[in-house]
Structure 1
Amino acid sequence: MELNIGSVISNVRRGKGLTQEALADAVGVSSAAVSKWETGASYPDITLLPPLARALGLTVDALLDYHAQPTDQELHELSERLGKVFDEQGYAAGRAACEQMLHEYPSYGPLKLVIGSLYYRYLSFALGGKADPDAMIEDVVQQSLTLFEQAEQESKDGNEGQMAKALRISALTMAGRYDEAEELLDSLPGRPFISRPEQLYQTLYLARGDLDKAEQMDQRALFEQYSEAATSLLNLSAVSRRRGDMEAAQRFTDAYCALTELFQLDPMAGLQMQLTLAEERGDNERALDLFEQYIDAVIAHTFDYTDNPFFFAVQTRVPTKNELNAMNRLVLRAAEEDEGFAAIRGEKRFADALDRLRKALDD
């Protein structure tokens, strides 16, 4: 780990109007030694740290640029910086940068939450050119699980602990470790007496005239409730389809599509479910129509709600182009390999749609 002590010495010395010779005389070393410290060619001997800190009017912690842990703002900036390494330099470089930060803050749960989520988010980056992608997926998921578990143990905040547990459940489910996921779910605490305390805040802000706060909180609440309803409709459609009740599956899927259209949100999941139902009915023409619409929706989506009339105050971060491409690569891989598309994979319209997706990724 590289120390910033040289830049600290240089900046503080100049700020105090001291020459290198004056600082050297104050602590009993040569000016050449001070020059080497400031350029990073060497570090001060540990016995010189107290007198050097006194000469500069600093604590030893400030001299070493030591922080027990990042602030919330620094953690956010660190997440953005690490994400940019994944985006611009690839998965191996991103993971190396993350591991360096873990060595610097080895017992800081919130950082482990951030890094575990980054591993999860950039999973598709890890698969590029791998001879055994399943083994890589298992490795990345296990790394994320380990970090989420450590974050839960190290968290001093109940909300962070619950977030870490929720992420573990998601990763275990993705890995097909359903019994472990269910065991964790069963361990979650029951709902409090006031199941949605945020409603009290919404009423308070509106009554007090804090319209911006009320608007933002109400939009978030609406988005959460929309997400819950949408997820339930998709799951009910899947349950009905697996039971062979195609009429019910279609009804739930249509309701999901109507909900997303009402709130002007991404139609991809609804198109994907409609496509699955058409394939299971053997309606290949309908399936091809839906597949083309699905791929076009994948290419067009941005997950940017800033212009959405219902949820413009919800957005905290818009995914980067590289993050969107990472998700789209997974879509492309699934379309190329999923046996569910076997009936239409040989059709020209299917191949043309995938070519449009590949071109969008190249562009």
Structure 2
Amino acid sequence: MNTTIHLTIANLRKQNHKSQQQLADFLGITKASVSKWETGQTSPDISSLPLIAAYFDTSIDHLLGYDAQLSKNEIERLYKTLKKAIIDSPENGLSQVRKLIKRYWSCYPFVFSMANLLLNHLTVLTKNDPITTQTLSNEIRELLDHVYRKSDDQDIQSQAKIMLSVLYLNNSKPQKVLELLGTTVPQLVPPESIIASAYHLQGNSERAEATMQTALYQYLVVMVSTFTNYLNLLDNNHQKFTELATKADQFITLFEIASFHPMIVLNLDMGIAAGFMKYDDHPNALQFLEKFANLQSKITFPIVLKGNHFFDKIYDWINQLMIGNQMPRDSRIVNRELKQFILENPTFEPLKNDPKYQSIVSQIKKDVK
């Protein structure tokens, strides 16, 4: 057994603000036994290791001084492999994910990526069964909470907090969301312009432009998601809904967002079409259904994260992402669910006898490339 385990146990106990007596009570042993472990006089029995690891929310590997870590490339490769495994056989894929999470419990980027993978394929893994969905959602929440509390990477911590909030929102726990994120919108102080200016002063104009392109690219994607979410909230204001839908559509066209991120545009078009149906605005609903069908017919799968002729300096940033250029969720599944939403949604039932709608439905039903 690792000769430093006594130091590890002592450090974990102090970090978690636990006394020797509290640890002893949990394990059903005496305080003196814990004291002897921490001073190196004796070592825990091997059968005690799982309980000690569970008490400190860590892994046995960590207790033994072996923290299994994965490189960014290894995480990217495993994400791609496990995503395919889940699509091919959800039960076997989930089993593989769980085994690897146990193996790399202290590799927080990997645990976070697996939480992301499970959350993005929740409907595939649970087949929309309420009990199974709740059980797996709780499991994902525990993974994210582990990363949020244990990781010292602020970026991963921040992402884990956002994903935790999404889970709470999906489970109708708005108060939990507000407790986690706060009740007011924080003032945005983006550092990208400062970083780019610093590169420019160093004479590195290429890096400066790449920094600004990367920032703008991400803000555009966030803006489209913000449009979608805002439109979903406008239930009783047809005029504002129409105005915002028009502006969102112009925004998409202006920056040619469909050329580098078509799935968020499909999601927006679908949401706008469904929103207009709430107001019995059939002409506008048909207009955006047609936009959806036209874009969907042009997509080649699988979709990857990419730039375009304008965003030509973002590929270094894409390559350094935890899962590289692959989408977090299998794009074919997203496309299928979006199509099903339109084809099976009773919201569009009033259009069923409209020739234009029938033509759109026929186009949507065609096999994608």
Give the TM-score band, short-chain normalised: 0.5 to 0.7
CA contact (8 A) 1:237 1:253 kept: yes
Q: 2:253 aligns with which of 225, 241, 261?
A: 261
Structure 1 match to 2:53 = none
CA 1:355–1:321 in structure 2 vs 1: closer, same or farther (change >3 Å)? farther
Q: What is the CA-CA distance between 1:268 and the residue it aligns to?
A: 2.4
Determine helix, strand or coil for the equivalent of 1:156.
Answer: coil
Higher relative contact order (CA 8 A, sep 6+): 2
Structure 2 match to 1:116 = 115
Worse-matched range after superposition: 220-229 or 280-289: 280-289
CA 1:167–1:256 in structure 2 vs 1: closer, same or farther (change >3 Å)? same
Which residue identity lines up with residue 147 of structure 2 in the other structure? A
1:198-232 deviation line (CA, Å, top 9, x unaligned): 32210111232323322221112112333444444
Which residue identity lines up with residue 324 of structure 1 in the other structure? S
Q: What is the CA-CA distance between 1:298 and the residue it aligns to?
A: 3.2
Whole-Å separation in 1 of the counterparts to 2:68 and 2:333 = 34
Q: What is the CA-CA distance between 1:187 and the residue it aligns to?
A: 8.5
- Percent identity over paired residues: 17
Pairing 1:143–2:142 present: no
Structure 2 match to 1:332 = 339
Q: What is the CA-CA distance between 1:186 and the residue it aligns to?
A: 1.3
1:92-114 deviation line (CA, Å, top 9, x unaligned): 22211111101212333222201
Structure 1 match to 2:214 = 220
CA 1:92–1:353 in structure 2 vs 1: closer, same or farther (change >3 Å)? farther
CA 1:235–1:289 in structure 2 vs 1: closer, same or farther (change >3 Å)? closer
Q: What is the CA-CA distance between 1:319 and the residue it aligns to?
A: 3.7
Structure 2 match to 1:156 = 152
Whole-Å separation in 2 of the counterparts to 1:214 and 1:103 = 41
1:329-363 deviation line (CA, Å, top 9, x unaligned): 221332344332232256576566455445426x6
Whole-Å separation in 2 of the counterparts to 1:290 and 1:189 = 31
Pairing 1:344–2:340 present: no
Structure 2 match to 1:203 = 197
Whole-Å separation in 2 of the counterparts to 1:91 and 1:172 = 24
Whole-Å separation in 2 of the counterparts to 1:338 and 1:175 = 22
CA contact (8 A) 2:168 2:174 kept: yes
Determine helix, strand or coil for the equivalent of 2:164.
Answer: helix
Structure 1 match to 2:28 = none
Q: TM-score when scaled to structure 1?
A: 0.68
CA contact (8 A) 1:75 1:111 kept: yes
Q: For 1:293-312, what aligned pairs fall within 5 Å after superposition?
A: 293-301=291-299, 304=304, 306=306, 308-312=308-312
Structure 1 match to 2:241 = 249
Whole-Å separation in 2 of the counterparts to 1:188 and 1:140 = 30
CA 1:333–1:276 in structure 2 vs 1: closer, same or farther (change >3 Å)? closer
CA contact (8 A) 2:209 2:313 kept: yes
Q: What is the CA-CA distance between 1:305 and the residue it aligns to?
A: 5.8
CA contact (8 A) 1:234 1:252 kept: no
Unaligned runs of 5+ in 1: 1-60
1:287-335 deviation line (CA, Å, top 9, x unaligned): 3343233133234346556452333333524447981111112213323
Determine helix, strand or coil for the equivalent of 2:182.
Answer: helix
1:79-132 deviation line (CA, Å, top 9, x unaligned): 233223234x332222111111012123332222011111122234325xx4x5
Which residue identity lines up with residue 192 of structure 2 in the other structure? E
Q: What is the CA-CA distance between 1:189 and the residue it aligns to?
A: 11
Which residue identity lines up with residue 218 of structure 1 in the other structure? M
CA contact (8 A) 1:145 1:168 kept: yes
Worse-matched range after superposition: 102-111 or 280-289: 280-289
Aligned-residue CA RMSD in angstroms?
Answer: 3.3
CA contact (8 A) 1:216 1:314 kept: yes
Q: For 1:1-363, what aligned pairs fall within 5 Å after superposition?
A: 68-87=68-87, 89-126=88-125, 130=127, 133-186=129-182, 195-239=189-233, 241-242=234-235, 244-266=236-258, 267-301=265-299, 304=304, 306=306, 308-314=308-314, 316=318, 317-319=324-326, 323-345=330-352, 350=357, 353-354=360-361, 356-360=363-367
Whole-Å separation in 2 of the counterparts to 1:164 and 1:221 = 20
- Whichever of the two has the greater Rg, that structure is 1
CA contact (8 A) 1:169 1:184 kept: yes
Determine helix, strand or coil for the equivalent of 2:257.
Answer: coil
Determine helix, strand or coil for the equivalent of 1:310.
Answer: coil
Whole-Å separation in 2 of the counterparts to 1:286 and 1:107 = 51
Whole-Å separation in 2 of the counterparts to 1:249 and 1:168 = 29
CA 1:338–1:146 in structure 2 vs 1: closer, same or farther (change >3 Å)? farther
Which residue identity lines up with residue 163 of structure 1 in the other structure? Q
CA contact (8 A) 2:148 2:156 kept: yes
Whole-Å separation in 1 of the counterparts to 2:112 and 2:329 = 21
Structure 1 match to 2:41 = none
Q: What is the CA-CA distance between 1:151 and the residue it aligns to?
A: 1.4
Unaligned runs of 5+ in 2: 1-60, 259-264, 319-323
CA 1:134–1:332 in structure 2 vs 1: closer, same or farther (change >3 Å)? farther
Q: What is the CA-CA distance between 1:270 and the residue it aligns to?
A: 4.2
Whole-Å separation in 2 of the counterparts to 1:322 and 1:146 = 20
